[in-house]
Amino acid sequence: MGSSLRRCRTPLGFGLLAAAGILVIGLPIVGLVARTPWGRFVPILADGTAREALRLSLVVATSAGVLSLVAGFPLAWVLARASWPGASLVRALVVLPLVMPPVVAGVGLLAAFGRRGVVGSWLYEAFGVQLTFTTGAAVLAAWFVSFPLAVLALEAGLRGIDERLEGAAAAMGASRGYVLRRVTVPLLRSQIAAAFVLAWARALGEFGATITFAGNLQGRTQTLPLAVFERLQTDQDAAVALSLVLIGLALGVILALRGRFLR
């Protein structure tokens, strides 16, 4: 043989650029850990407003995750299975919140659900309901930004299912509802879990849309990211400590999804 296989060597330039990338991601985390006031860590978290922000964050993220699944499954099904005019337009619309600046999302939500918004004014006049500055508004903002991730994960999952299995189930006497409960959903189990975790994580970190649409009210709309932002101006140690909590939660998400991202 004339040529023999040579081990593929990493070009020097690639190595340097890759190292720079690792530093960009790694240094802020190292910095956070280094700056964490370990001595005050427990008192900061034990503080009433911090605990309240953590509780609120979990409530908001979990509600947004559940809503994304409940509304996302039918939408993903329609996108994956039905052929209808405008499907690609709707898919583009669904993806929009992913690439839209969150503050713009907040302004949009205000324009729709604010007291003088398209739907909000009607809600206020007909039922006396005002959404802005409520926990509901924080949930709505988090749902808005996390929904696309859930829909995309579920749609990919639905496309991956062998539809002939569902046909076989029908031929075995299963009604559509039974096929959905006993075949489709069980086959999608891991994608449903992934959709929930992705949406939950995105909702947990939401800042721009929340502060624009729901405001920054302790105990009602001040989630952890908003609390971090506020502490940054008054108590940097507290901001760092709360940030570390958010990183801890994010790490938990990666572990939960380890089958997908880690080998």
Partner 1 sequence: MSGLVVDVVVRRGDFEVAAAFEADVGETLALVGPNGSGKSTLVAALAGLVAPVHGRIELDGCALDADDVPSVPPERRPIGVVFQDLLLFPHLSALENVAFPLRARGVDRSTARRRAQELLERLGVGPRAGARPSELSGGEAQRVSLARALVARPALLLLDEPLSSLDVGVRARMRELLSEELARFPGVRVFVTHDPVEATSLADRLVLLEAGRVTQIGTPEEIRAMPRSRYAADLVGLNAFRGRLESAGEGVGRLVTDEGELTVALPPTYEGGEVIGLLRPVDVTLSLEPPAGSARNVLRGRVTSIAVDGERARLRIASAPPLVAEVTLGSLERLGLCEGAAVWASFKALEVQVLVD
Please pick, from the candidates 15, 101, 186, 252, the single residue that binds partner 1 as defined by CB under 8 A.
186
For partner 1, the closer of residues 122 and 178 by Cβ is 178
The Cα–Cα gap between 217 and 147 comes to 24
Furthest CA-CA distance within the chain: 85
Rg of the chain taking only CA atoms, in angstroms: 23
Phi, psi of 26 (to 5 degrees): -80, -40
For residue 121, the surrounding DSSP H or E stretch is helix 120-127
Binding of partner 1 by 165 (CB under 8 A): yes
Binding of partner 1 by 19 (CB under 8 A): no
Please pick, from the candidates 139, 169, 211, 246, the single residue that binds partner 1 as defined by CB under 8 A.
169
Binding of partner 1 by 160 (CB under 8 A): no
Indicate the burial class of 243 (C-beta count within 10 angstroms; 0-12, 13-18, 19 or more). buried
* Smallest distance from partner 1 to CB 177, Å: 10
Please pick, from the candidates 46, 171, 233, 234, the single residue that binds partner 1 as defined by CB under 8 A.
171
- Selected range binding partner 1 among 47-55, 169-177, 210-218, 253-261, rule: CB under 8 A: 169-177
Residues 6+ away with beta carbon under 8 Å from 211: 106, 226, 229
List residues binding partner 1 (CB under 8 A).
162, 164-165, 167-175, 178, 182-183, 186-187, 189
